[in-house]
């Protein structure tokens, strides 16, 4: 692996923090309801929002989080009436999660905000070839990180 220069590391760190702050600010400015949710809350809503009831075990496996973290997030979402728990007919000791109309509304808003952020990022590059390269680089980082 190539040695990374201190200056390159500094630029990457500053750029990442700056981008994350801008995304956070954009979400706060464009969606008060999304700004109040944790990233894990949004991930859970996205998972259960596909119309299929998901068990807690499935969600835990998908998110790679501890049981207590997942339980806390589920409790928050249930209290806000974004999801509801359903007893598993096959195993009465477990339950699944189903999204509510309120939760579906949040998901639609989340998709809209995510799309707008992606468009803002893509619009930073006028040249289509550079856009394609940027997407490839971002995917590589995401896959290998």
pLDDT at 10: 96
**Domains of the chain with bracketed CATH:** 10-144 (1.10.10.10)
pTM as predicted: 0.81
How far, in Å, are 6, 117, 122, 124, 128 from residue 131 at the CA level? 27, 15, 6, 9, 5
Tokens 């499935």 correspond to 58
Residue 5 CA to residue 37 CA, distance in Å, equals: 37
Report the side by side order of strands in the sheet with 54-55: 54-55, 95-99, 83-87
Given a cut of 70, whether residue 1 has pLDDT beyond it is no
- Stretch 89-108: mean pLDDT: 87
Mean pLDDT value of segment 39-58: 88
Confidence band for 56, pLDDT divided at 50, 70 and 90: confident
pLDDT at residue 76 tops 80? yes
The pLDDT, as a whole number, for residue 89 is 74
Q: How far, in Å, CA of 26 to CA of 142, rounded?
A: 22
């Amino acid at each position: 692996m190539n040695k990374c220069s201190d200056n390159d590391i500094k630029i990457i760190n500053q750029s990442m923090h700056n981008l994350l702050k801008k995304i956070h600010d954009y979400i706060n400015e464009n969606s008060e309801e999304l700004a109040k949710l944790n990233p894990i809350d949004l991930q859970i809503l996205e998972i259960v929002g596909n119309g299929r009831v998901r068990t807690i075990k499935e969600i835990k496996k998908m998110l790679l989080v501890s049981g207590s973290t997942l339980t806390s997030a589920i409790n928050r979402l249930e209290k806000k009436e974004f999801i509801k728990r359903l007893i598993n007919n096959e195993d009465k000791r477990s339950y699944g999660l189903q999204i509510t109309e309120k939760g579906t509304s949040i998901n639609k808003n989340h998709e809209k905000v995510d799309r707008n952020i992606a468009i803002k990022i893509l619009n930073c590059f006028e040249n289509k070839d550079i856009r394609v390269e940027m997407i490839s680089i971002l995917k590589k980082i995401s896959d290998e990180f």
